[in-house]
A and B are shown apart, each in its own frame.
Chain A
């Protein structure tokens, strides 16, 4: 019986304008998305990424001629690899930084000729991990816009269509009087509701699947994009999530529809609620969050940085200890002098490094907080789960930062163990002259990598996926209960 009703609904839908509308919209948007991605978006990003990483490797090679130098100057720029699934969820990646920077920033020197000093010495600040705002998007005066990815097509357009498919499912039949006719037969209400759901669901999924197949076909024919097994697995999970997401709106539409006796009222209520939850909540919360949790201003940061530096400088230069004992560049180097300088340089670098980390943590916490609030909206939950699986967006960026910090430690460990192998070195970390001056085999230097696996992405998406399933169940129950108790006339 369910299938009978579902079949009737599907046949009815097929002849309706809304089906044609959905099919054509989804097809056009999906094809456009794939074409833009394959012809411009991905090639440009991947070219930029490989240029950037090549430059980084070149400069790392140059530095590897001397271990001490490498230890001071650091591993260089660390780039976040672009995800080949960006066409599914861009995750505003173009507005997020594309790299972290493990480089030395300042050069200093004291002159020999100045009467106050007994020696000349020039040095670079020890490297720290910094987080510059260098993004892929170069033009910040373009009007605000949302990228045309799957998240947009399904999260926004399809959820809207889901409402158009269900707003009159029950209220419309009530209006025309066919509902009581239907119920006069030996069908249970549950069967009717389920049949209506399945009918609407299938008539929405069919256009979506056609659109997705076209999209994937175009994407997979491109030479540049090659999806491996893990990525196809992620795409499959995303399709499952998308259908759960669509069913949320279908159940919601059925729920509201069962409450009204005229379809125009149910439509209005559905649309207004849709606007609030899908369009407005995901977007208004940015303002709200920046009001609740303050992040220090740029001026404050640079002031704190300066006072910290001054304080450290003053302490170490007290009585000109640092400048009078001798230069680290003396031949042969005096261990006592090297210790003094290493302490000074380490303290400066560590203090600054801590400051950069804390500042970034505060900024990231603010965004995470905002995301928590936006989870009020099913569209946001959907977006975050798909982004996690596609390996884009904020969660992915956070992981990149973590990886960069892990790599920082790995790099330091490498330098120290490499240094231990050189008997001529005085093993004082970290002043350039206190470490080995031998070249480092380039291949032995650990390279930064940030690969995503199916497991990692799935773990990141589990929470949001659970939320979506729960929401779908909740609305399913709400719709069933409401329909059970409603009047058929």
Chain B
């Protein structure tokens, strides 16, 4: 009996005008958008490859190790995520290249590639956004009159006068509705994947396929929720036009108002404090560092490490910028190597100390980040979970590795890379090498062994674990609204 109902409903849906039009518009939307998004991804991929190449070129041009301190710093580049086509998250906004030096612990990322921050005034739309806006509306439009219209037309009483139980009828309507919606949903996924596959730059790995499948399932869960909300509302009233208004109200609130409102409220109710005191603390530390270095030099009876060397030219450029400091020195025209070992000792002390101070200053900066922007973002994220739309977006971002958490992971890895780099500098005794400040006195100079940055992506199970809260919320809401619809329908007056 269930299948008869399912079949009847599906046929009615598919033959209806709204289904056809919905499908058509939705399809063209997805395909054009994915085309545009794929192009955007290609651009970002190219600029990533350029950035990698430029980093290698920079390394090749290094003559003295101290250049790594300021003028030719190493870079850690983040590969654009393929699934950012499905969900952009913060992938584009948060920057993708970090500077690595022993005097600087990476805390923010910059943007490589074609860079126009003014474009930030346009919100961007990805697959997930189209989905959360269009599919939720379609789901509501499919279900708002499922019960009240049949009642209005009088067919509900007829159907129930046969040997059909109410649960069967409701379940039949749910299954059929979901099946009819799943059709455009899956079709659009497949069409989208085809569009993406046409790009010569894209190749999916098996983990990508797994993630895509998970995003598809998640999307079904989201659509099902809105379908059930519509069904629930439909069982509350006896006139489809009233159900419609209620459904639209829910839609406007959940999809348009709440996600924007929560962030706005958090931004105003829980503002971030000025960074100034933290910067002052940091500059205090750098002053202390300067004093300590000066002290050391005074004790050794010089003003500058190279004072005892007899040389004809030297230059230095140094900079302190809030939390970072660095120095590149060059010396040439040594008349003898007298004083050189002394300079080596001095630089060894100075640069080791700089790395230590940078670590200490990172703790100050970390405190600022944790207590201010990061705390605010997490708060906004948590409060926005009032709306299932935000829950869905967040879970999809986690699965696409484009959420804030993934970005923080990348930053953590960049810091890990810096630690490796500092260890390398220490282990290879680079701070205390002559090559730190001069190209004279031939010494082997092999830069191929320098550690390079490699980003480790998160395992699927790791992502799933992080997304589990959001997935659970969606599931629980699904169950709640199903039960709600079920109970209301049991008590529904059919004639």
Which residues of A are at the interface with B, using a C-beta cutoff of 8 A?
A: 16-18, 21, 25, 29, 32, 36, 39-41, 44, 91-92, 95-96, 114-116, 133, 138-148, 152, 156-157, 160, 164, 168, 263-265, 267-269, 271-273, 275-276, 279-280, 282-291, 294-299, 363-364, 366-367, 370, 374, 393-394
Cβ proximity bits B127-164 to A, threshold 8 Å, 1 near / 0 not: 00110011001000100010000000000000000000
B22 adjacent to A145 (CB under 8 Å): no
Residues in chain A near residue B115, CB distance under 8 A: 295, 297-298
B244 adjacent to A267 (CB under 8 Å): yes
B141 adjacent to A268 (CB under 8 Å): yes
Distance from A259 Cβ to chain B, minimum over Cβ atoms (Å): 12
Task: Specify which of A148, A168, A290, A294 is in contact with B261 (CB 8 Å cutoff).
Answer: A148
Task: Specify which of A157, A269, A280, A298 is in contact with B21 (CB 8 Å cutoff).
Answer: A269
Of B90, B110, B249, the most chain A CB neighbours within 10 A belong to B249
A32 to B51 Cα, complex, angstroms? 45
Residues in chain B near residue A288, CB distance under 8 A: 36
A18 adjacent to B264 (CB under 8 Å): no
Of B43, B94, B124, B265, the most chain A CB neighbours within 10 A belong to B124
Contacts A148-B261, A275-B137 supplied; 8 other A-B pairs, CB < 8 Å: A32-B261, A92-B121, A96-B118, A133-B117, A147-B260, A288-B36, A297-B114, A298-B110
Task: Specify which of B112, B257, B272 is in contact with A29 (CB 8 Å cutoff).
Answer: B257
**Chain B count of residues within 8 A CB distance of the other chain:** 81
Given the known inter-chain contacts A146-B260, A152-B260, please indicate yes or no for A291 contacting B119, CB distance below 8 A.
no
Residues in chain B near residue A115, CB distance under 8 A: 312
A114 adjacent to B29 (CB under 8 Å): no
B40 adjacent to A276 (CB under 8 Å): no
Task: Specify which of B39, B94, B141, B248 is in contact with A140 (CB 8 Å cutoff).
Answer: B94
Beta-carbon contacts under 8 Å, B240-275 to A: 240-242, 244-246, 248-249, 252, 256-257, 259-261, 263-269, 271-272, 275
A276 to B32 Cα, complex, angstroms? 12
Question: From B44, which residue of chain A is reached at the shortest CB distance?
Answer: A290
Given the known inter-chain contacts A145-B263, A299-B54, please indicate yes or no for A287 contacting B117, CB distance below 8 A.
no
Distance from A167 Cβ to chain B, minimum over Cβ atoms (Å): 9
A286 adjacent to B268 (CB under 8 Å): no
A164 adjacent to B112 (CB under 8 Å): no
Residues in chain B near residue A285, CB distance under 8 A: 122
Given the known inter-chain contacts A41-B268, A44-B271, A290-B116, please indicate yes or no for A138 contacting B373, CB distance below 8 A.
yes
Given the known inter-chain contacts A268-B21, A295-B116, please indicate yes or no for A139 contacting B125, CB distance below 8 A.
no
Residues in chain A near residue B246, CB distance under 8 A: 17
A148 to B263 Cα, complex, angstroms? 10
Distance from B323 Cβ to chain A, minimum over Cβ atoms (Å): 16
**5 smallest beta-carbon distances between A and B, as pairs:** A286-B122, A92-B121, A145-B263, A40-B268, A139-B373
Question: From B372, which residue of chain A is reached at the shortest CB distance?
Answer: A139
B33 adjacent to A141 (CB under 8 Å): no
B363: Cβ under 8 A from any A Cβ: no
A124 to B133 Cα, complex, angstroms? 55
Of A116, A286, A294, A297, the most chain B CB neighbours within 10 A belong to A286
B245 adjacent to A17 (CB under 8 Å): yes
Given the known inter-chain contacts A44-B271, A286-B124, A296-B114, please indicate yes or no for A280 contacting B29, CB distance below 8 A.
yes
B277: Cβ under 8 A from any A Cβ: no
Beta-carbon contacts under 8 Å, B387-415 to A: 390, 393, 404, 407
B404 adjacent to A141 (CB under 8 Å): yes
B374: Cβ under 8 A from any A Cβ: yes
A144 to B263 Cα, complex, angstroms? 8
A116 to B121 Cα, complex, angstroms? 53
Task: Specify which of A139, A140, A156, A287 is in contact with B40 (CB 8 Å cutoff).
Answer: A287
Distance from A35 Cβ to chain B, minimum over Cβ atoms (Å): 10
Distance from A312 Cβ to chain B, minimum over Cβ atoms (Å): 19
Cβ proximity bits B78-90 to A, threshold 8 Å, 1 near / 0 not: 0000000000001
A268 to B124 Cα, complex, angstroms? 25
A393 to B121 Cα, complex, angstroms? 9
Please list 6 pairs of residues, one from A and one from B, whose beta carbons are closer than 8 Å in the complex, sorted by A's number: A141-B374, A142-B267, A145-B259, A268-B22, A363-B118, A370-B119
Distance from A359 Cβ to chain B, minimum over Cβ atoms (Å): 10
Question: From A144, which residue of chain B is reached at the shortest CB distance?
Answer: B123
Residues in chain B near residue A264, CB distance under 8 A: 18, 141, 145, 240
Question: From B19, which residue of chain A is reached at the shortest CB distance?
Answer: A268
B456: Cβ under 8 A from any A Cβ: no
Distance from A105 Cβ to chain B, minimum over Cβ atoms (Å): 12
Task: Specify which of B51, B260, B269 is in contact with A145 (CB 8 Å cutoff).
Answer: B260
Residues in chain A near residue B120, CB distance under 8 A: 92, 95
Beta-carbon contacts under 8 Å, B2-37 to A: 17-18, 21-22, 25-26, 29, 33, 36-37
B62: Cβ under 8 A from any A Cβ: no
B313: Cβ under 8 A from any A Cβ: yes
Question: From B119, which residue of chain A is reached at the shortest CB distance?
Answer: A286
The stretch of B294-302, B376-384, B425-433 in contact with A is B376-384
Distance from B208 Cβ to chain A, minimum over Cβ atoms (Å): 21
A287 adjacent to B260 (CB under 8 Å): no
Beta-carbon contacts under 8 Å, B282-319 to A: 312-313
A276 to B29 Cα, complex, angstroms? 8
A367 adjacent to B260 (CB under 8 Å): no
Distance from A477 Cβ to chain B, minimum over Cβ atoms (Å): 24
A291 adjacent to B36 (CB under 8 Å): yes
A276 to B137 Cα, complex, angstroms? 13
B439: Cβ under 8 A from any A Cβ: no
A297 adjacent to B133 (CB under 8 Å): no
Task: Specify which of A142, A152, A280, A366 is in contact with B125 (CB 8 Å cutoff).
Answer: A280
Given the known inter-chain contacts A141-B377, A291-B36, please indicate yes or no for A272 contacting B130, CB distance below 8 A.
no
B248 adjacent to A164 (CB under 8 Å): yes
B360: Cβ under 8 A from any A Cβ: no
B268 adjacent to A275 (CB under 8 Å): no
B339: Cβ under 8 A from any A Cβ: no
A147 to B123 Cα, complex, angstroms? 11
Distance from A40 Cβ to chain B, minimum over Cβ atoms (Å): 4
Residues in chain A near residue B117, CB distance under 8 A: 133, 363
Distance from B155 Cβ to chain A, minimum over Cβ atoms (Å): 16
Distance from A85 Cβ to chain B, minimum over Cβ atoms (Å): 17
A144 to B132 Cα, complex, angstroms? 14
Given the known inter-chain contacts A40-B268, A148-B264, A298-B112, please indicate yes or no for A114 contacting B313, CB distance below 8 A.
yes
Of A142, A279, A291, A363, the most chain B CB neighbours within 10 A belong to A142
Given the known inter-chain contacts A36-B264, A287-B37, please indicate yes or no for A275 contacting B133, CB distance below 8 A.
yes
Distance from A399 Cβ to chain B, minimum over Cβ atoms (Å): 14
B111: Cβ under 8 A from any A Cβ: yes
Question: From B40, which residue of chain A is reached at the shortest CB distance?
Answer: A287
B133 adjacent to A290 (CB under 8 Å): no
Given the known inter-chain contacts A143-B380, A290-B43, please indicate yes or no for A279 contacting B133, CB distance below 8 A.
yes
A394 to B21 Cα, complex, angstroms? 36
A425 to B474 Cα, complex, angstroms? 77
Of B122, B129, B384, B404, the most chain A CB neighbours within 10 A belong to B122
Residues in chain A near residue B145, CB distance under 8 A: 264
Distance from A41 Cβ to chain B, minimum over Cβ atoms (Å): 7
Distance from B393 Cβ to chain A, minimum over Cβ atoms (Å): 8
Question: From A298, which residue of chain B is reached at the shortest CB distance?
Answer: B115
A18 adjacent to B125 (CB under 8 Å): no
A156 adjacent to B137 (CB under 8 Å): no
A271 to B142 Cα, complex, angstroms? 13
Question: From B378, which residue of chain A is reached at the shortest CB distance?
Answer: A141
Distance from A135 Cβ to chain B, minimum over Cβ atoms (Å): 8
Given the known inter-chain contacts A21-B245, A267-B141, A287-B36, please indicate yes or no for A367 contacting B256, CB distance below 8 A.
no
B454: Cβ under 8 A from any A Cβ: no
Given the known inter-chain contacts A36-B268, A271-B137, A297-B114, please indicate yes or no for A283 contacting B18, CB distance below 8 A.
no
A68 to B328 Cα, complex, angstroms? 32
Residues in chain B near residue A291, CB distance under 8 A: 36, 39-40, 43
A144 to B124 Cα, complex, angstroms? 9
Question: From A116, which residue of chain B is reached at the shortest CB distance?
Answer: B313
B134 adjacent to A275 (CB under 8 Å): yes
Question: From B117, which residue of chain A is reached at the shortest CB distance?
Answer: A133
